[in-house]
Amino acid sequence: MQTVRLHKLGVRDYKDTWDFQEKLFQEVIDLKINNRRTGACTPTPNHLLFVEHPHVYTLGKSGDIGHLLLNKTQLSDKGATFYKINRGGDITYHGPGQLVGYPILDLDNFFTDIHKYLRLLEESIIRTLASYGICGERSQGETGVWLDTDSPFARKICALGVRTSRWVTMHGFALNVNTDLGYFDHIIPCGIKGKAVTSMEAELNRKVPMEEVQQKVLQHFSNLFEVGFEPA
C-alpha cells in the first residue's frame, strides 16, 4: 500500500500554495529523473494538500479570459485576485468555505491512466456527497461532479482541473461546502454557459463542518486509491 503525506494548510494564499505545489511536484519529478539516470530505486513520495483560499479566480492554460466578467478594478472591489495557471480546464473560483484538494501523486506508483485518475477523484467526491444524502453524478463530456444532470436544474458542486508531467500530478478538485456562491456570478464557470453552481450548504440548507467533510473525502480517497495517510 502506498503512503500519502497529508498537508492541512488551513486558509492560505493561492499563489503561496501554487508555489508550494510546484516545489513538491518538481521534487518528485527530479527524483524520478535521478532514479532513471543512476539506476537507483528511491521511492517517490505522494502528497495531498487540503486548503481553503481567499477569494481568487483561476484560468486554465486553454481557458478563455472572456469567461472572467470582472475587470481589475472590479476584482479589487470584490477582494479577489486572478491568476492564469498551468492546469487543464477553463475558469473557476476558489474561496472560503470551499474544500480544495491538491493531490501530488506519482501515478507510476498506482496506474498510468489519467482518465482513471480523474474518475477516481470524482468518485471520492460522489461517495462523500452520498454520505450526506446528496446524489452527485458525472456529466457526459464534462469533468467534475454535478447534480441533476438530466434536468433543466443541472448544477455543478465540484470542479476538477489537473496537470501531469512524467505521470506526476498537481492541481486537483474544489468542492463547494459552505461557499459564497455569489462569486460564481462573475464568471462563466468552467466555460460552460447556462448551468448553475451549488454547494453542500445550499443543498442541505445548513452549514457543514469542513473538518468532517475532509475526513470523509480522506476515507473514500484512501479506499479508492488504496493508500494510507501520514502527517506531512
**Amino acid at position 91, single letter:** I
Residue 199 burial by CB count (10 A; 0-12/13-18/19+): exposed, middle or buried? buried
Give the number of other CB atoms < 10 A from CB of residue 123: 17
Highest mean predicted confidence (pLDDT) among 18-22, 67-71, 140-144:
18-22
**Contacting residues for 26 by C-beta, under 8 A, at least 6 apart:** none
Asked if pLDDT for residue 16 goes beyond 90, the answer is yes
The one catalytic residue among 41, 135, 158, 190: 190
Residue 64, pLDDT score: 87
Is 80 exceeded by the pLDDT of residue 189?
Answer: no
**Domain 2-231 in this protein, CATH class:** alpha beta
Assign 3-state DSSP to the chain and report helix, strand, coil percentages, each to 5.
35, 30, 30
CA count, 13 A, side-chain hemisphere, 148: 10
Assess whether 135 carries a catalytic annotation: no
Axis crossing angle, helix 114-130 with helix 210-225, rounded to the nearest 10: 140
Would the pTM of this model clear 0.85, i.e. be above it?
yes
Interval 115-129 mean pLDDT: 98
